[in-house]
Amino acid sequence: MNKTLIICDNLDIALLYQVNLQVYIDSGAKIINSFDNAEKELKISKGLFDFIIFFYKLGEKSTSKLIEASKAPNTSIVVVDNRENDSEELHIADAHIIQNIFDLKSILRIGAKTFGITAQMMANKPLNSHYQLPNRLLPLLDNPPCEIYSKKGDEYISVSKEQIKDKHFFIESKERLKLINYLTINYMEKYIELMSSKEALKISENVVENLAHQLTKDEAQAQEVLDVASKAIKVINSIIRKEKPFLKLFKLLIKNQTNYLYVHSVLLQYTTKHILENMSWGNDEQIHKMGIANILHDIYLTPLYIKHPEFISETQFLETAVFNDKDREVVESHAYMVATKIKQWNQMPVDLDSILMQHHGAKFGRGFPAQPDTNIIPLARVFIISEAFVEQFLLHNKTKPLFKYNIIFEILKKKYKSKQFHQIIDVLTSIEIEKD
Ligand SMILES: [Fe+2]
Ligand SMILES: [Fe+2]
| Minimum mean pLDDT range among 79-93, 168-182, 205-219 | 205-219
> How big is the chain by its Cα radius of gyration, in Å?
24
Q: How far apart are alpha carbons 432 and 436 in whole angstroms?
A: 12
Q: What pLDDT sits at residue 192?
A: 65
Residue 204: pLDDT over 60: no
* Domains defined along the chain, listed by start: 1-126 (3.40.50.10850), 195-428 (1.10.3210)
Ligand 1 centroid, distance to 107 Cα (angstroms): 37
Handedness of CA 189, 23, 431, 392 (dihedral sign): negative
Ligand 2 centroid, distance to 299 Cα (angstroms): 9
Q: How far apart are alpha carbons 115 and 3 in whole angstroms?
A: 9
Mean of per-residue pLDDT scores for the chain? 83
Q: Which ligand is nearest to the CA of 335?
A: 1
Ligand 1 centroid, distance to 219 Cα (angstroms): 29
The answer to whether 53 touches 5, Cβ cutoff 8 Å, is: yes
Q: What pLDDT sits at residue 47?
A: 74
> pLDDT tier at 360 (50, 70, 90 boundaries)?
very high
Ligand 2 centroid, distance to 369 Cα (angstroms): 15
Ligand 2 centroid, distance to 261 Cα (angstroms): 7
**From residue 62, how far is each of 48, 55, 58 by CA, in Å?**
22, 12, 9
> pLDDT tier at 156 (50, 70, 90 boundaries)?
very high
Secondary structure element (H or E) that encloses residue 151, with its range: strand 148-152
For the stretch 219-263, pLDDT in tens is 777 777 777 777 888 888 888 877 888 888 888 887 776 677 888
Q: Which ligand is nearest to the CA of 295?
A: 2
Q: Find the length of the chain.
A: 436
| pTM for this prediction | 0.65
Residue 347: pLDDT over 60: yes
For the stretch 270-281, pLDDT in tens is 899 999 999 999
Residue 396: pLDDT over 80: no
Ligand 2 centroid, distance to 99 Cα (angstroms): 31
Q: Which ligand is nearest to the CA of 338?
A: 1
Q: Which ligand is nearest to the CA of 394?
A: 2
For the stretch 279-336, pLDDT in tens is 999 999 999 999 999 999 999 999 888 887 777 777 777 777 567 788 888 999 999 9
| Minimum mean pLDDT range among 59-73, 140-154, 165-179, 335-349 | 59-73
Helix/strand number for the chain, H first, E second: 18, 9
Ligand 2 centroid, distance to 298 Cα (angstroms): 5
Q: How far apart are alpha carbons 107 and 98 in whole angstroms?
A: 8
For ion ligand 1, residues whose CB falls within 5 Å: 298
Q: Which ligand is nearest to the CA of 301?
A: 1
Q: Which ligand is nearest to the CA of 264?
A: 2
| Minimum mean pLDDT range among 100-114, 357-371, 374-388 | 100-114
> pLDDT tier at 169 (50, 70, 90 boundaries)?
very high
Query: Strand locations in 13-75, DSSP E?
Result: 27-32, 51-55
For ion ligand 2, residues whose CB falls within 5 Å: 298
Ligand 2 centroid, distance to 187 Cα (angstroms): 25
> pLDDT tier at 378 (50, 70, 90 boundaries)?
very high
Ligand 1 centroid, distance to 297 Cα (angstroms): 6
> pLDDT tier at 436 (50, 70, 90 boundaries)?
very low
- Tell the burial category of 87 from Cβ atoms under 10 Å away from its Cβ (0-12, 13-18, 19+): exposed
What DSSP letter does each residue of 238-291 carry, written as one string? HHHTT-HHHHHHHHHHHH-TTSHHHHHHHHHHHHHHHHHHHSTT--HHHHHHHH
Ligand 1 centroid, distance to 72 Cα (angstroms): 55
Closest CA to 42 of 66, 75, 73, 10: 66
Q: How far apart are alpha carbons 220 and 222 in whole angstroms?
A: 5
Q: Which ligand is nearest to the CA of 391?
A: 2
Provide φ and ψ at 326, rounded to 5°. Answer: -65, -45
Q: How far apart are alpha carbons 45 and 59 in whole angstroms?
A: 20
Residue 338: pLDDT over 70: yes
Q: What pLDDT sits at residue 425?
A: 94
Ligand 1 centroid, distance to 332 Cα (angstroms): 9
Closest CA to 383 of 357, 419, 408: 357
Ligand 1 centroid, distance to 255 Cα (angstroms): 19
CA dihedral 8, 10, 16, 20 (to 10 degrees): -10
Ligand 1 centroid, distance to 359 Cα (angstroms): 6
**From residue 36, how far is each of 8, 11, 42, 203 by CA, in Å?**
12, 16, 10, 29
End-to-end CA distance of the chain: 30
- Between 267 and 191, name the one with better pLDDT: 267
Residue 94: pLDDT over 70: yes
